[in-house]
Structure 1
Amino acid sequence: MSRVRSRGMRPSRRVAVASVVLSIGTWYATGSAQSPIAFGTPTTQVPQPGGTVHAVPGSRAQGWLAQGRSEVLARHGIVATSDPLAAQAGVEILRKGGNAIDAAVAAAAVLDVTSQNDTGIGGDLFAIVYVAHERKLYALNSAGWAPAGWTPQFFTDTLGLKAVPASGVNAATVPGAISGYDALLGRFGTMTFAETFARAARIAEEGWGQAERRHGDLLRVVAQLRADPDSTATFLQAGQAPDLYRIIRNPGLAKALRLIQKDGRDAFYRGDIASAIVAKIRAGGGVMSASDLAEFRSEWTEPIATSYHGYDVFQLPPPGQGFAALEMLNILEVCVPKLGMNLAELGPSSPMYWHLMVEAKKLAYADLHAYNADPAFADVPVARLISKSHAAELCGRIDVNRASGTAASTGVDGGTIYLSAADRWGNMVSLVHSVFSVYGSRATVPPYGFVLQNRGAAFSLNPKSPNLVAPHKRPFHTIIAGFVMKDGQPLMAFGNMGGTVQPETHAQHMVNMIDHGMNVQMTSDAARFTHAHATNVLSLEPQLFALVGAALRRKGHVVQSAPGNAVGGYQGILFTPDGTMPGPTFDKRWADEDRPVNGVYRAGSDHRKDGQAVGW
C-alpha cells in the first residue's frame, strides 16, 4: 500500500487500485499460466494495466546504461514530437519535398487531432525558425488576444467574479494557432494548408488509438467535460472516457480541417468556423465578437538571447516566460563561481548541485511573476532582466546552506505540446502549441469538435499587476520555444512542454548538455526537478528524491517525490556538421536536388510522453 500512496491518489482511488492489485495477486496464487491482462489488455477492473506489473527495467549495452533509447540520426530531415503519428506526418511532408516549416505545421496539425488534452486549433502557438538561406533566426508570436469586451469590470461587475475563470467560454481568448500556421507557411513554407493538413484531416475521419497518457488525462477531467454538452458529445462515450486503446474519431474536427484546407485562415477567422466560435461563446454569456477574430494577426518579433558558457541560447520575448530561462542560466553562470563552486564538478548526484539550481530558479521566477506581461501594454525590462549584471546583483541572495522563501503568486498551470523539425537545406523549427489546461476551457465548439483554450485564466484582475486584463491584450503565456547557436551557426532546436515548468526545464537541459556533456536524448532521460513558486514546494522525480531528498530537506526545502508528468516532456534536434562546413548551409545548387544536409541531425524524445523522433 505504501507504493500506491506515493502516487498521490485520493483515498477512494487508493482503495480501488489496492483491490485490483490484491485481486491480481490472488489470481497469481492459483498457479494459472496466463495473466488476466495478457498483452497489457485493459479490463473493467484494470483500465490501465501497466501500473499493476511489478518488474525492474533492463539497461542499455553501451553509454549511460539508464538512457531509455538511442538518439535518432538522419541527414535528409528529422521531426521530434510527443506523438508518433505527428512525427511521421512531418517526415511524410519532408519526403514529399516540403521543408521544415511545412513539416512542423503538418506535425502540429496531427497533434491538434490526437492531443486535445494538450493542444488544438482552438489554442495558441509560438515558434522560432532558423532560415538557412538567410542565416537568420525569426520569432513568431501567435498568442491570441482578449476580446474587446474584456475589461476588469466585465469580470468583477458583470460576472461577479474575483478572478478570470479557469474554465468555460469566459476563460477563452481568441485562438492564435491557425493564424500562426498561416504566418509560417506564408513566409517560409513551400506548401499550403491543403497539403499540410491532409494527414490530420484523414486521421480525424478514420480514427486513431487512445494512448495511455492521453487516456489518463481524459480520466482526470471527465466531470468537467460533462458540464459542457458539446464536450460530452465530442470526447466522451455514454458520458464516460473511452477505454484505453479504443479507436477515437472526430468527424466534426475533420470538417473544420477540410474547411481550412480549402479556404485557409479565413475559414477560421471570418468564415463558418468563426461564426461557430462566436455563437458558442455568446451562448455561454461571453462577449467575443466577429471583429475580435477577424482583426487578429500573428506577430513576427525578434528573439531574445543570453550566452551560457559560450553558447547562445534564444527564447521568445514576452508575453512568453522564456526570459526566465535565460535569467536562470545567467544566475548559474555568474553566481555559482562566486560561491566557490562549479556545477560540472558538483554533478547531478550532489545535493548542493540541486540546491543551487533551485535557488537560481526561485530568483528568476520572482522576476518573471513581477514583470511578465504583454509588452504592448506594459514595460517589461527584458534587457535588464537577462543581463549578466542583473544576475550578479542577485548572487548575494543565494544562501548555500539554507533554502529561501518565495512570494505568494497565483495562476493556472497547464499542458502543452512541443515539437521540432529540420530539413536537408538546414532550416530548423522550434514550435510550441497549447490549449493551456488539460482540454483547455473544456468548452467545445460545435459542430467542429475542438476545445477553446483557457489562456484568459492567466490574466490578473489586480489593478497593480502588469498582467491586468484589457481589451486585445495578450495574457502572461507559459509556452516557450528554445534555440541554441554557437559562433553564429545553428546548433539546436529544443523545448519542454508542461506549463510553468518550461523555463526551469529549459535551463536544466542546457546545464545537462553544456556542463555535463549529455547528448540530446540523455538530457531527457535524466531526472528533473520542478519547483512551485506559489507554495515553495520542491518536487523531484522518485529516484532523484531517493538520492538527494533528505539532504535538501535538511537545507530547509519543502521537498516531495513526484511522478514524471510533473516535469513535462522534452523534444530536441541537434545539428552536428561533417567537418567540412561549420553548420547546416543552404546551397542554391541543391534546392531541387535530393541531397542531404552537410552533416547529421541528432534528435531525442521524452519517454514521459507518447512520442518519438523520426528521420530519413
Structure 2
Amino acid sequence: MNNATPITRHVMVTSPHYLASMVGARILGTGGNAFDAAVAVSAALGVVYPHMTGMGGDAFFMLYRAESKQLIGFNGTGRAGSRADIPYFANRGLTSIPLRGILSAVTVPGMVDAWWEVWSGNGKLTWEQILEPAVEYAEKGFPISRNLREWICRDERLIRSCPAMAGTFLPGGKTPHLGDVLTQPDLAESLRLLQREGRDSFYRGGLMKRMIAEMDRAGGLLTESDFSSHTGQWVKPISTDYRGYRVYQMPPNSQGFTTIMMMNMLEQFDLKEIPRQSADYYHLMTEVVKRAFRDRDLYLTDPEFADIPLDRLLSKFYAERLAEEISLERAEERLSSAMGQDTAYAAVVDGEGNSVSFIQSLYFDFGSCYMPEGTGVIMQNRGSFFSLDAEHVNGLQPGKRTFHTLMPAMVFKDEAPYLLLGTQGGEGQPQTQLSILTSVLDYGDTIQEAIANPRWVYGRTWGQNSDTLKVEGRIPASEIELLRGKGHLVERVGDWDGLMGQAQGILIDREKGCLHGAADPRGDGMALGW
C-alpha cells in the first residue's frame, strides 16, 4: 500500500488522482509555472474526481511567489444567495437545510473565480491552454478509477434521483466498472464556453444563464444577480511559530486556525518522550483537537458577520491555559457537529520556487447530488452546514459565507517554503494535518512516511449520536485498549481506511536541493516531477 516517494531536483506535483498530477507535470513541461499548473490540476480534478470536486464547488489557494518572496491566500468561497434565508426554510416546516437536492445548493460556487484570480495575476500560459487538459478528459473520456467507482456504487440511489447525474455517471442506466471510460460531454461544452469567454461565462454569461434557468425550474434559490455579484477574496494567511518552523493556514471562514491552536498547545509537551504509535500519542492529539474544536464551533463563520477573536485564540498564552486543562490519563467528553468530508487537496512547486498549496470541494460526495440539465456541473451543498437558528454564530443569512472545513497549509523554514500539505476530510482535515506535521517536524519522518502513518479521526459522522475516536486497524490492539482505559469511545476501522481521508504533500529540502513528493496510499493519487 505504501507509495514510493519521488525525489526530484526541479519540479513536483501531487494530487489525489494520477491523471490530474500528470496534467500538472504536462503544464510545467510546456513552459507553465506553478500557478498555471495549480489551476490546470484543479480543473482536471473536477473532471476525473467529480465525486470530490468540480466547477460547482469552492476552493482555497495558498500561493508563494518566489520572486517577491510573498505568501498570499485566495478565499474562493461562495456566499449564500439573496433568497436563502431562515424564514424561507422555516415557512416550509424545516428545522435544518436539506443535505441533498436543489435546496441544499444555496451558495454560489467560488471555484471558477478562484481559478481566474490565481491564473490572471500570476500565470504564464493562456487561459485556454490551462483548461485544455480538463476539456480533453471530459470530451474524450478517462478510465474510471478505484475511488470514483466506489463512490458511484455507494451513492447510486442518490445519483439516480437526478436525471442529469444519472445520465452522466450511470450510462445506460448501469453502474460502471473499474476501467470503463467515462465521458462528460455536457461538462466538456461548459468548459469550452469557459475557455472562450473566461470566468464571466460562469458568473455573467451563457453558462450562468443556462444553470440558473435549470435551477429555477427545479425550485432553486440562487439567482443571476447572486452569480454576477460574486467575487472571491485575497487574504493574508495566519501563522504561528512551532519549534523553529512557521506554520501557515488560511484565516476564517476556513477552520485553518484550529491547527494553529493545536500546534500552540503541543508546544507545551515534549513529544520526543511520547512514542508516535503509542496510546499516549493518540490520546494527547485527541485532547488537543477537542479544545481547538470547542472554540472553532463557538466562533467560526464568515468574519464579515461576526467578531472572531483570533488574537486571543492564536496566542501562546491562551494555548498554555488550554494545555493545562488536558489530563494525560483521562479523556474529556464532548459532542461535536457532524459534517461532510469529501475534498481534494493538491500541491505544486515549480523550478523557480513558486509554490501552491490548494484544496477544493463539493462538500459531500457528489455535493448536492443535483446537476443543472445540460451543464455537467454538480452543484455543491456547502451551504447546508448553515444553521437555521438565528442566534447561532453560523446562522444562515443572504450574502454570508459558511463555516468552511477547507484548509490548505504551508510550513516555512528559514523564511522559505519547506512543507506543503493538506487532506480530504471535514473534521479530519485539522487532525490529519496534525498527524503529518508532528510526524515530520517532531519525529523526523519523511513526508511519505508521515502520510502513510496509522491515522485517527475524532468526531461525529452523520447518523451517529456520540463522538468516537476512529483509529486505523494497524494501531496495535494493546494501544487501543489503553485508549479505551483512558475513557475514549474507540472504533477500530480498516488498516488503510478511506475514512481517514486522502492527504498529499511536498517537502522542499533546500540543503540538498531536492523536492520530496507524497500521495496518500488510501486514494488514487500520485506525486511526480523531475
- Deviation larger for 460-469 or 116-125: 460-469
**Equivalent residues of 2:211, 2:375 under 8 A apart:** no
Question: Aligned ranges for residues 183-332 of structure 1 at < 5 Å?
Answer: 183-332=117-266
Q: Does 1:436 align with 2:363?
A: yes
**What SS does structure 1 have at the residue aligned with 2:287?**
helix
1:3-14 alignment runs, 5 A limit:
none
TM-score by length of 2: 0.96
In 1, distance between residues paired with 2:138 and 2:101?
A: 24
- The equivalent residue for 1:570 is 503
Tell me, yes or no, if the aligned pair for 1:303 and 1:315 is still in contact at 8 Å. yes
1:98 is aligned, of 32, 37, 55, to 32
Q: Distance in 1 between matches of 2:148 and 2:11?
A: 28
Superposed CA deviations along residues 562-597 of structure 1, whole A, max 9, x for unmatched, are 232111111111111246xxxxxxxxxxxxxxxxxx
> SS of the counterpart of 1:273?
helix
CA shift for structure 1 position 519:
0.6
Ranges in structure 2 where 5+ consecutive residues have no aligned partner? none
Aligned to 1:325, the other structure's residue is in SS state helix
Residue by residue over 1:52-88, the C-alpha shift from the partner in whole angstroms, topping out at 9 and shown as x without a partner, is: xxxxx7xxxxxxxxxx233212223110001111001
By how many angstroms is 1:248 displaced?
0.6
The yes-or-no answer on 1:356 pairing with 2:284 is yes
Partner of 1:524: 451
Distance 1:349 1:437 in 2: 31
Residue pair 1:89, 1:107 contacting (<8 A) in 2 also: yes
2:478 and 2:521 map into 1 onto residues whose CA distance is 21
Q: Secondary structure at the match of 2:427?
A: helix
State the Cα RMSD in Å: 1.3
Tell me what 1:33 maps to: none
Q: Distance in 2 between matches of 1:192 and 1:184?
A: 13
**Shift, 1:457, TM fit:** 1.0
The offset of 1:494, in angstroms, is: 1.0
- Which residue pairs with 2:344 in the alignment? 417
Residues 501 and 545 of structure 1: CA distance in aligned 2, closer, same or farther (over 3 Å) = farther
Separation of aligned partners in 2, 1:300 and 1:117: 27
Q: CA offset at residue 237 of structure 1?
A: 2.4
Q: Quick one: structure 1 residues 538 and 204, their matched pair in 2 at CA, closer, same or farther if it must change by over 3 Å?
A: same
Q: 1:247 Cα deviation (Å)?
A: 0.8
Amino acid corresponding to residue 444 of structure 2 in structure 1? G
Identity rate, percent? 35
**Deviation per residue, 1:12-59 (Å, 9 max, x gap):** xxxxxxxxxxxxxxxxxxxxxxxxxxxxxxxxxxxxxxxxxxxxx7xx
Q: Which runs of 4+ in 1 moved over 6 A?
A: none
1:120 is paired with a residue of what secondary structure? coil
* Residues 119-150 of structure 1: CA deviation (Å, up to 9, x unaligned): 00111000100000110100100011110111
Which amino acid is the alignment partner of residue 515 of structure 2? Answer: Y
2:490 is aligned to 559
Of stretches 389-398 and 352-361 in structure 1, the one that deviates more from structure 2 is 389-398
Match of 2:416?
489
- Count how many residue pairs are aligned between Structure 1 and Structure 2: 523
Change (3 A) 1:448 1:565: same
> What SS does the aligned partner of 2:518 have?
strand
Alignment-derived partner of residue 468 in structure 2:
537
1:311–1:578: structure 2 CA closer, same or farther, 3 Å change rule? closer
- Bigger relative contact order, structure 1 or 2, given CA contacts below 8 A and separation 6+? 2
Question: What is the rounded CA distance, in whole Å, between the counterparts of 1:504 and 1:439 in structure 2?
Answer: 23
- Aligned pair 1:161/2:94, yes or no? yes
| Contact 1:78 1:422 (C-alpha < 8 Å) held by counterparts | yes
8 A contact 2:519–2:526 mirrored in 1: yes
Superposed counterparts of 1:4-83, under 5 Å: 68-83=2-17
Point out where structure 1 has 5 or more consecutive residues left out of the alignment. 1-56, 58-67, 337-341, 580-598
Structure with the greater alpha carbon radius of gyration: 1
Give the SS at the match of 1:153. helix
Q: Distance in 2 between matches of 1:409 and 1:347?
A: 28
Q: Deviations over 1:441-475 (max 9, x none)?
A: 00012212121000011111112211111111111
| Offset of residue 284 of structure 1 | 2.1
TM-score by length of 1: 0.83
CA distance in 1, matches of 2:254, 2:519: 23
2:85 corresponds, among 151, 156, 168, to 151
Q: Does 2:329 align with 1:401?
A: yes
| Structure-2 separation of matches of 1:92 and 1:327 | 38
| Equivalent-residue separation in structure 2 for 1:545 and 1:203 (angstroms) | 43
One-letter amino acid of the structure 2 residue matched with residue 81 of structure 1: S
Q: Is the 8 A contact 1:444 1:452 kept in 2?
A: yes
One-letter amino acid of the structure 2 residue matched with residue 94 of structure 1: L
